[in-house]
Amino acid sequence: MAFSFRTVITGTGSYIPPNKVSNSHFLDRTFLTANGSSFDKTNEEIIQKFEEITGIKERRYAADNILASDMGAEAAQKALKDADLDPEELDYIIVAHNFGDVRADNPVTDMVPSLASRVKQKLEITNPGCVAYDLPFGCPGWLQGIIQSNYYLKSGDTSSCLIIGTETLSRICDPNDRDSMIYADGAGATVLESRETDEDIGILSHAARTDAKDQAYYLRMEPPFDPEKADAPLYMHMDGRKLYQYALTNVPSLVKSSLQKADLDFDDVHKVLIHQANAKMDAAILKRLGKLCGKKNISDDIMPMTISWLGNTSVATVPTMLDLIQHNKMDGHHINSGDNLVFASVGAGMNINSMVYKMP
């Protein structure tokens, strides 16, 4: 019987900031349009509509003295402990993020040294063979790090990888932009190890794509909406409707492609762990995926949701959700041996990826 190297998840960890920020926090905010003018609706109306569309009721912000690399290191420590792995045995540390360590008092991107090197230093790893690098790939960055690690591990030359997604989005969003209510802070980490086996387990397939010709700047850095703050640092803005339509058009077909590569039907899937920026968008994506796969009735518990209380934490969303489920911290959601999971994400670039994973 032929044996091959399979990539399996052996540990997960996350850092969820304790600081809860409810929607009422934004009642005194001055919201402006992209051209700097005021809205003809009250903040109460704006916030109510926002909650209806996104499903977000609260989010978490990091304490002022906490950086993305700090959160990433803490999530990493938990994942390594969960995997019972000596940090010195790691072959790779990959940190997915988009803005580096952004200080609360100075919202400027800081990426030198790399966040991966900072995390390695915080973990006190001395092994020079542990290669540390960053992966900026929009919100799908953590999942792309998993995909890259799979190639390392299947080669047989690598035994373990640590993939982290960490971000402080609250510090790079325009306070006068309604979309600022979407963004939050957090970190998630995952340990992958190589297992030589004849079992069809671990990462079964993946698919990814980048659409940049017309879509590259759906998410972008721009001056603030307030014309009186033109000299302020650049903030993240997005074309929400274009992004919504792009995701709805392209994510379901890419997920279906990853399922086909794994020779699985949608009926074989136990959980869909998808990046969460908009609850209605994710529900629409799942419905369209089911339609593409010929499935009319889809159980609500197939797609766990954290957006209502954690907001959009970019690269941290999916690994945090996986960690919560793995450690029985999400009511009604459990993962068992033999379950098939689908991971999917969409974000700046525009980038999309999907992966099919079978629990050992």
77-100 confidence digits (pLDDT tens): 999 999 999 999 999 999 999 999
pLDDT at 2: 61
Phi, psi angle pair for 219, to nearest 5°: -120, 130
What's the CATH fold of domain 4-197? Peroxisomal Thiolase; Chain A, domain 1 (3.40.47)
* 331, 192 Cβ separation under 8 angstroms: no
Using CB atoms within 10 Å of the CB of residue 86, give its burial: 0 to 12 exposed, 13 to 18 middle, 19+ buried: exposed
Tokens of 278: 């908009």
| E strand or H helix at 72 | helix 68-83
The CATH number, out of the four listed (1.20.120.140, 3.40.47.10, 3.50.50.60, 3.40.50.1220), of the domain defined by the range 202-358? 3.40.47.10
Rounded to two decimals, what is the model's pTM? 0.95
Average pLDDT of span 328-352: 95
* 306, 264 Cβ separation under 8 angstroms: no
Where, residue-wise, is CATH 3.40.47.10 in the chain? 4-197, 202-358
Please write the tens of the pLDDT for every residue from 157-215.
889 999 999 999 999 999 999 999 999 999 999 999 999 888 889 999 999 999 999 99
Using CB atoms within 10 Å of the CB of residue 21, give its burial: 0 to 12 exposed, 13 to 18 middle, 19+ buried: middle
Strands 131-135 and 269-274: unpaired
Strands 340-347 and 269-274: parallel
Mean pLDDT of the chain: 95
Report the alpha-carbon distance of residue 342 to residue 203 in Å, rounded: 10
